[in-house]
Amino acid sequence: MDRLVGFLETEFERIVTSVPASEAGDNVVAIGDALRLQTTLRERERRFRELLDALPAAVYTTDAAGRITYYNEAAAELWGHRPTLGSTTWCGSWKLYWPDGTPMAHDECPMAMALKEDRPIRGYEAAAERPDGTRVPFLPYPTPLHDQTGKLVGAVNMLVDITDRKRAEDEQALMVRELHHRVKNTLATVQAIIGSTARSAETIEDFKTSVTGRIGALARTHLLLADERRTVTFGELLRAELEPFDDGSGARIQLSGPAVELRSQLAVTLGMGFHELTTNAAKHGALSVYGGTVSVTWSVTIEAERRTLNIDWVERGGPQIAEPVRKGFGSRLLEFVLPGQIQAQTSIDYDPRGVRVRCAVPLPADAQA
């Protein structure tokens, strides 16, 4: 960028200073030589303007008073209109703004500063508003031009569109905020897991096994949300938990439902809930014996523009069960944590043939089924 600016400065200085004042006004110079010299200068200027017109960067020039004397096509595109040569001053932008969004007066813009202070201006950022209301962030490179005597005769400015860079910065800032949010939620979840597991575990070994499994489930969910993904489908969440128990027959684990995108907070909470259901089924339910099955079906309903994910978990073919005397971590998670964190309505039916859990989870307005 600095090399291009330097090249422009050099070429403009050469055009401005090509004819010494003594030669231009010296009666001794032959008229033919003067005409040839003038023609040469015009041709040089024409070729240079063709070069500027071909540049992808916006370039324009002014006289010493700040009146615009030339601009290329890239400048007209950046401004969104074509200012009048010779009368528009300082900058061709319809309106100007500082990076924080406050208005910038044209006579206080970097080009005006360069001409008034007779020095190159660097390190500023601004935004040009077009007549249609769209704004373009840019970096200006205004540089004064002088004749051979050192007199200020104008300035050249190059405006570098940084829209893509600003968009990338905004996306990066959003990702950092999302990361902070996820880390905060994850630490709170881990703390709750350890506390609840400690209260329900009867031995150190039980505590160790339970904590390891639950944090492992948390890790699997976060792995699904890795690689810049901000959502995961409910089906992917279930498969991550139940796949180790699938014998490949298609009968032991049965999953059926549409692709429902879940954002990170919803995915983490539901992931923990279905990890508890899977663990309980593997210890005491249908997955603890050969021939037992787990069937999960889900659908999305819409009522009054409100989306709800309806889930039905059914275990069959396992040992006969009865409602437990003491509620463990899994039951408390389903009955109290899910309603509190994601406003889910959950019911657990301890059918002797196998546990059946129904869950209705409100989805964000932008969730798609």
Please provide the average confidence, as pLDDT, over all residues in the chain.
Answer: 79
Shared domain check, 257 and 309: yes
What CATH number does residue 176 fall under? 3.30.565.10
Shared domain check, 214 and 253: yes
Which residues neighbour 157 within 8 Å (Cβ) at sequence distance 6 or greater?
Answer: 59, 60, 61, 62, 91, 110, 111, 114, 140, 141, 142, 143
Shared domain check, 114 and 74: yes
Shared domain check, 65 and 123: yes
With 50 as the cut, is the pLDDT of residue 314 above it? Answer: yes
Residue ranges making up the domain that contains 82: 2-161
Shared domain check, 148 and 19: yes
Whether residue 114 lies inside any domain: the answer is yes
Whether residue 368 lies inside any domain: the answer is no
Shared domain check, 258 and 239: yes
Shared domain check, 170 and 149: no
Between CA 284 and CA 288, with CA 286 as vertex, the angle to 5 degrees is 55
With 50 as the cut, is the pLDDT of residue 24 above it? Answer: no
pLDDT at 28: 44
User: Mean pLDDT throughout 294-322?
Assistant: 90
pLDDT at 23: 46
Shared domain check, 171 and 151: no
Instruction: Identify any residues that bridge with 233 across adjacent strands, giving them in sequence order.
Output: 261
Shared domain check, 178 and 113: no
pLDDT at 226: 58
pLDDT at 21: 45
Distances in Å between the alpha carbon of 127 and those of 29, 108, 133, 198?
49, 14, 12, 57
Choose the final residue of a domain: 161, 194, 216: 161
Let me know if 229 is exposed, middle or buried by CB neighbors in 10 A (0-12, 13-18, 19+).
exposed
Distance CA 92, CA 88 (A): 7
> Which of 5-14, 172-181, 217-226, 290-299 shows the lowest per-residue confidence on average (mean pLDDT)?
5-14
Q: How many residues are present in the chain?
A: 369
